[in-house]
Amino acid sequence: MNIPRDLQDKLDAAKYLADKGAKYLAKDRAAMRFIWSEQVPTAAADKHWRIYVNPEFAKQLTVPELGYVILHEVSHCVRAHHRRYERLPEKDAEKWGLATDAEINCSEWPYLVMPSDGVTAEKCGWPPRKIAEEYYFSDNNTAQDKMKSLVFGSAVDGEAKSWELPADDKDNPGLDVVTQEILRLETAQQIVSQGRGCVPGSWEVWAGSLIAPKIPWQTKLARMLSSATATIGIGKQSYRRVRVRGTLCMPRHIKPKLNIAVVLDTSGSMGTGEGSSLQKAVAELIGIAKVAGNVNVIWTDTSSHIQRNVKSFAELKPQGGGGTDMSVGIKFADELKGSDEPDIIITISDGWTPWPEVPPKHKHITVLIGSEYGPDFGEVIHAE
């Protein structure tokens, strides 16, 4: 589609304002494909993290309004609205779309302006700053009237719309679900690290619910380190850090450091979005990395790929999303040599996988999320 230069410039300016108004969403916004489409009535996002905008609709908006629309669509994806819709006991896509719009539009972003026809909780007769689920189950006739002109994509309800491209479109491919989840968790970490009052309150609540590990890794790994120290002694000596006694310079002992390999299940059964097993698994992974300093991650579905020295969400480069076989990942980790050889292998999975028939030679911990089906060797921890 041939887009006038001035309209493309307007979009670029809107993206700039969006990133300036919500820096914590800038990486998510940059990761999303932007598609001009005359088929979409206004603007919408799909569940593969692509934004569709009608050129005529964009022409009617100011730059601050277009920037707001962009962040609005980004928010549908980051908050995993289509995954949350799947968990509702009763399905009404139009009402859910209205509820999610009201949830998002309680945010006020600097430099941006919500279009005058934007859905708000107040316009629907709902209290402000609540989650979409609370609005969804509210019985309100005023809200019903707002549904008639509502436009939303599969990012809201999971159902592909006529204007949406296939997930694997060669020119505009969507993001795989594992990459989506890592981006969401990284965003949550960034929000939490900024401290209270730096972002809209609803985003603070959302972020805090995503990234907290359930297992006290500080205590657990400290015990293991203590056990390792007892086995190998008090550690090596080094003159890089010395202690002075009179005229003598004495070397200090270097405490042993655990080398940890985390085998992380990235199969399709782990899911994505709020409350998913993948979300919880990655939170535990980063919890381990924070205590250990860094970890080697073995991304595993039916094959394995190593990523070394991971410290934070921002460094994660996930691979996978297919079938499940954690025995492949455990074997991969167990056979690592040299500086990669682990002291401990920690496997994080939903448990719906074959487990090795022969225990690994290295110490092994299994973290199960939402399942009772663990291996019959090593320590098994239930994360929930």
Q: Quote the tokens at residue 234.
A: 């008090």
Boundary residue ending a domain (167, 189, 208): 167
Residues 34 and 141 in one domain: yes
DSSP 17-65: HHHHH-GGGHHHHHHSEEEE-SSSSSEEEETTTEEEE-HHHHHHS-HHH
Which is nearest to 324 in space by CA: 285, 267, 270, 263?
A: 267
Boundary residue ending a domain (127, 146, 167): 167
CATH of the domain at 345: 3.40.50
Residues 276 and 317 in one domain: yes
Its domain, for residue 366, covers: 176-232+258-384
Does residue 226 surpass a pLDDT of 70?
no
* pLDDT top residue among 124 and 148: 124
Q: Total structural domains in the chain?
A: 2
Residues 193 and 333 in one domain: yes
Residues 97 and 209 in one domain: no
Residues 267 and 332 in one domain: yes
- Residue 19 inside a domain? The answer is yes
Which is nearest to 292 in space by CA: 190, 221, 352?
A: 221
Residues of the chain with pLDDT > 90: what percent?
52
- Residue 315 inside a domain? The answer is yes
CA distance linking residue 284 with residue 318, whole number of Å: 15
Task: State the pairing for strand pair 50-53/33-36.
Answer: parallel
Which is nearest to 165 in space by CA: 50, 74, 75, 71?
A: 50
Residues 180 and 273 in one domain: yes
Residues 140 and 10 in one domain: yes
Boundary residue ending a domain (167, 196, 211): 167
Is 0.85 topped by the overall pTM?
no
The pLDDT-based confidence of 250 (bands split at 50, 70, 90) is: low
Residues 133 and 277 in one domain: no
The pLDDT-based confidence of 247 (bands split at 50, 70, 90) is: low
Residues 159 and 46 in one domain: yes
- Residue 97 inside a domain? The answer is yes
- Residue 239 inside a domain? The answer is no
Residues of the chain with pLDDT > 70: what percent?
86
Q: Quote the tokens at residue 192.
A: 């939490």
Tens of pLDDT, residue by residue over 316-356, are 887 776 788 999 999 999 999 999 999 999 999 999 899 99
pLDDT at 232: 43
* pLDDT top residue among 37 and 236: 37
- Residue 39 inside a domain? The answer is yes
Residues 161 and 183 in one domain: no
Q: Quote the tokens at residue 7.
A: 């309209």
- Residue 189 inside a domain? The answer is yes
- Residue 237 inside a domain? The answer is no
Residues 148 and 182 in one domain: no
User: Measured between alpha carbons, how far is residue 189 from residues 15, 237, 264, 379 in Å?
Assistant: 22, 37, 19, 29
Residues 100 and 191 in one domain: no
- Residue 245 inside a domain? The answer is no
